[in-house]
Chains A and B, each alone.
Chain A
Amino acid sequence: MAVVEREKLLEVKNLKKYFPAGKKGVLKAVDDVSFDIYKGETLGLVGESGCGKSTTGRTIIRLYDATDGEVFYEGDDVHDKKSRSELKKFNRKMQMIFQDPYASLNPRMTVKDIIAEGIDIHGLAKTKKDRENRVYELLETVGLNKEHANRYPHEFSGGQRQRIGIARALAVDPDFIIADEPISALDVSIQAQVVNLMMELQKERGLTYLFIAHDLSMVKHISDRVGVMYLGNIVELTTSDELYEEPLHPYTQALLSAIPVPDPELERSRERIILEGDVPSPINPPSGCRFRTRCPHAMDVCAAVKPKWQEAREGHWVACHLYDEEAVKQQN
Chain B
Amino acid sequence: MEKLLELENIHVSFQTYGGEVKAVRGVSFTLDKGESLAIVGESGSGKSVTSKSIMRLLPNKIGSIKQGSIKFQGKDLAKASEREMEKIRGAEISMIFQDPMTSLNPTMTIGKQIMEGLRKHQNMSKSEAKERSINLLKLVGIPNPELRVDEYPHQFSGGMRQRVVIAIALSCNPKVLIADEPTTALDVTIQAQILDLMRDLQDKTGTAIILITHDLGVVANLAQRVAVMYGGMIVETGTVDEIFYKPKHPYTWGLLASMPKINAESKELLAIPGTPPDLMNPPKGCPFAARCPYAMEVCLENMPEATDVSSSHKAACWLLDERAPKVEPPEEALVGGAR
Which residues of the other chain, A, contact B275 by a CB distance below 8 angstroms? 157, 159-160, 190
Which of A49, A192, A257 meets B258, CB within 8 Å? Answer: A192
Which residues of the other chain, A, contact B273 by a CB distance below 8 angstroms? 193
Assess whether B271 is in contact with A193, with CB atoms less than 8 Å apart: yes
Assess whether A258 is in contact with B188, with CB atoms less than 8 Å apart: yes
Assess whether B217 is in contact with A196, with CB atoms less than 8 Å apart: no
Q: Please tell me which stretch of A22-30, A108-116, A124-132, A261-269 contacts chain B, meaning at least 4 of its Cβ atoms lie within 8 angstroms of it.
A: A261-269
Which residues of the other chain, A, contact B214 by a CB distance below 8 angstroms? 187-188
Which residues of the other chain, B, contact A85 by a CB distance below 8 angstroms? none
Chain A residue at minimal CB-CB distance from B269:
A192
Nearest CB in chain A: distance from B168 CB, A: 20
The complex places the Cα of A262 from the Cα of B157 at a distance, in Å, of 28
Given known A196-B268, A272-B192, contact A265–B218 (CB-CB < 8 A): no
Which residues of the other chain, A, contact B159 by a CB distance below 8 angstroms? 278
Q: Which residues of A contact B (CB under 8 A)?
A: 48-49, 157, 159-160, 187-193, 195-196, 199, 214, 216-218, 220-221, 244, 254-267, 272, 274-275, 278-279
Which residues of the other chain, A, contact B215 by a CB distance below 8 angstroms? 260
Assess whether A267 is in contact with B220, with CB atoms less than 8 Å apart: yes
Nearest CB in chain B: distance from A47 CB, A: 9
Nearest CB in chain B: distance from A224 CB, A: 11
Nearest CB in chain A: distance from B243 CB, A: 9
Assess whether B160 is in contact with A278, with CB atoms less than 8 Å apart: yes
Which residues of the other chain, A, contact B220 by a CB distance below 8 angstroms? 260-264, 266-267
Assess whether B244 is in contact with A274, with CB atoms less than 8 Å apart: no
Tell me the residues in window 156-189 of chain B with beta carbons closer than 8 Å to chain A beta carbons.
Answer: 157-160, 187-189
B190 within 8 A of A: yes
Q: Which residues of B contact A (CB under 8 A)?
A: 42-43, 157-160, 187-193, 195-196, 214-221, 240-241, 244-245, 254-263, 266, 268-273, 275, 335-337
Nearest CB in chain A: distance from B230 CB, A: 10
Nearest CB in chain B: distance from A42 CB, A: 12
The complex places the Cα of A278 from the Cα of B275 at a distance, in Å, of 37
Which of B43, B193, B244, B270 meets A263, CB within 8 Å? Answer: B244
Which residues of the other chain, A, contact B160 by a CB distance below 8 angstroms? 278
User: Which of B215, B244, B269 has most A Cβ within 10 Å?
Assistant: B269
The contact sample of 7 A-B pairs, CB cut-off 8 A, is A188-B258, A255-B189, A260-B217, A262-B335, A263-B244, A264-B240, A272-B196
Assess whether A258 is in contact with B189, with CB atoms less than 8 Å apart: yes
Assess whether A264 is in contact with B254, with CB atoms less than 8 Å apart: no
Chain B residue at minimal CB-CB distance from A281:
B157
The complex places the Cα of A254 from the Cα of B189 at a distance, in Å, of 7
Which of A48, A265, A266, A267 meets B189, CB within 8 Å? Answer: A48
Which residues of the other chain, A, contact B271 by a CB distance below 8 angstroms? 189-190, 192-193, 195-196
Task: Work out how many contacts link A and B, with CB atoms closer than 8 A.
Answer: 129
The complex places the Cα of A192 from the Cα of B253 at a distance, in Å, of 13
Which residues of the other chain, B, contact A274 by a CB distance below 8 angstroms? 189, 192-193, 196
Nearest CB in chain A: distance from B293 CB, A: 13
Nearest CB in chain B: distance from A11 CB, A: 27
Nearest CB in chain A: distance from B252 CB, A: 11
Which residues of the other chain, B, contact A272 by a CB distance below 8 angstroms? 192, 196
Which residues of the other chain, A, contact B261 by a CB distance below 8 angstroms? 217, 261-262
Which residues of the other chain, B, contact A217 by a CB distance below 8 angstroms? 259-262
Assess whether B335 is in contact with A221, with CB atoms less than 8 Å apart: no
Task: Pick the 7 closest A-B CB pairs, nearest first.
Answer: A260-B217, A192-B258, A221-B260, A192-B271, A262-B216, A48-B187, A258-B192
Which residues of the other chain, B, contact A187 by a CB distance below 8 angstroms? 42-43, 214
User: Which of A191, A254, A260, A278 has most B Cβ within 10 Å?
Assistant: A260
Nearest CB in chain A: distance from B264 CB, A: 10
Assess whether A264 is in contact with B262, with CB atoms less than 8 Å apart: no
The complex places the Cα of A192 from the Cα of B274 at a distance, in Å, of 12
The complex places the Cα of A199 from the Cα of B267 at a distance, in Å, of 11
Nearest CB in chain A: distance from B197 CB, A: 10
